[in-house]
């Protein structure tokens, strides 16, 4: 166990670097979308003798500036956006027995983990689930659904909160919250451009200046422009899927680490196994959590069928590792915890 602090610090530093690279890649993606469109328009219109000529790269300028603003907002307010999207309500004054128990258990886990007490939130959803978000441990929040408080006993709730504290300790919350904000922004961009293109086709008019007016040569440039536009459109089509797959891959790797750390905090892997099984076997999805934030939750809030598959299907479609694999690893820890005790 002597190596654990150094390992924790290395993972924190790794998540900080990945967060920075993620934001940089996000800005570059939007810059390509903007300036790629500018290049395509310019090349397509290179042979036109009249009509609109696209010479100022206003698409690239606007897209890059917008991406920088969204990256800053995701960094500063990404956790608030996630909580707002789930309709979560902050727990200020606990009223019910379940809420009092939540505060007491969270206080215990704060002491056990050595982390500041996070803000607690209740998500109005009957499906048992939980997630953590925040830029750092000082600004962290943990949200649990009403269904989780009603479904789990005290030991199981402690195990779930320990899992979320583990995400906070490793700065997983920063990276995963940024991913959630970026996935949402890319999806909105793709949907918005798709609607614009669809409406343009319905109107039947040409895009502004697309070869409008007479032509004077420029056939090679026009062909290059068409190629750029095709690549540009393919990027918009594929980007939402790629970004979701990235979010899922990030989540799957970190769930195993959080499970292991939770077992170390509580010395009770069996409680986490029981909690995971109850969450997994719930009847319906967590409707309050959108697909873009699925990787934040302790179990997939959407369709959990794909978690049963290993290999390509599970890797592409599931945001979390399979329950069987998580339980197997926790059962293996039960022996080592018993020996350590």
- Residues marked active site are found at 164
Tokens, residue 253? 């790797």
Q: 224 near 290, Cβ under 8 Å?
A: no
Using CA atoms, how far apart are residues 243 and 80, in angstroms rounded to an integer?
Answer: 21
Using CA atoms, how far apart are residues 280 and 277, in angstroms rounded to an integer?
Answer: 5
Using CA atoms, how far apart are residues 19 and 38, in angstroms rounded to an integer?
Answer: 29
61: alpha, beta or left? (left if phi > 0; alpha if psi -120 to 50):
alpha
């Amino acid at each position: 166990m002597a190596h654990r602090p150094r390992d924790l610090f290395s993972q924190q530093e790794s998540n900080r670097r990945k967060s920075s690279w993620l934001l940089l890649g996000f800005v570059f993606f939007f810059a390509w979308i903007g300036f790629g469109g500018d290049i395509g328009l310019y090349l397509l219109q290179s042979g036109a003798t009249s009509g609109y000529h696209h010479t100022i790269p206003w698409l690239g300028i606007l897209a890059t500036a917008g991406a920088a603003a969204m990256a800053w907002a995701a960094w500063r307010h990404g956790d608030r956006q996630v909580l707002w999207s789930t309709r979560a309500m902050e727990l200020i004054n606990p009223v019910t027995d379940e809420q009092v128990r939540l505060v007491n258990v969270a206080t215990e886990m704060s002491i056990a983990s050595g982390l500041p007490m996070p803000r607690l939130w209740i998500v109005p959803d009957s499906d048992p689930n939980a997630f953590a978000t925040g830029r750092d441990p000082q600004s962290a929040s943990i949200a649990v659904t009403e269904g989780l408080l009603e479904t789990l006993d005290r030991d199981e709730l402690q195990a779930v909160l320990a899992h979320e504290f583990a995400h906070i300790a490793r700065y997983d919350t920063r990276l995963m919250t940024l991913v959630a904000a970026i996935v949402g922004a890319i999806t909105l961009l793709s949907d918005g451009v798709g609607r614009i293109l669809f409406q343009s086709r319905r109107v039947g008019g040409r895009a502004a200046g697309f070869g409008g007016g007479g032509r004077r040569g420029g056939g090679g440039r026009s062909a290059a422009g068409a190629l750029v536009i095709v690549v540009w459109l393919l990027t918009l089509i594929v980007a939402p899927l790629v970004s979701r797959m990235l979010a899922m891959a990030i989540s799957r790797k970190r769930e195993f680490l959080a499970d292991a750390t939770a077992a170390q905090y509580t010395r009770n892997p069996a409680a986490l196994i029981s909690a995971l099984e109850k969450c997994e076997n719930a009847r319906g999805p967590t409707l309050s959590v959108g697909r873009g934030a699925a990787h934040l939750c302790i179990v997939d809030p959407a369709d959990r069928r794909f978690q049963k598959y290993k290999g390509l299907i599970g890797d592409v479609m599931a945001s979390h590792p399979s329950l069987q694999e998580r339980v197997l690893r926790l059962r293996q820890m039960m022996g080592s915890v018993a020996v350590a005790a």
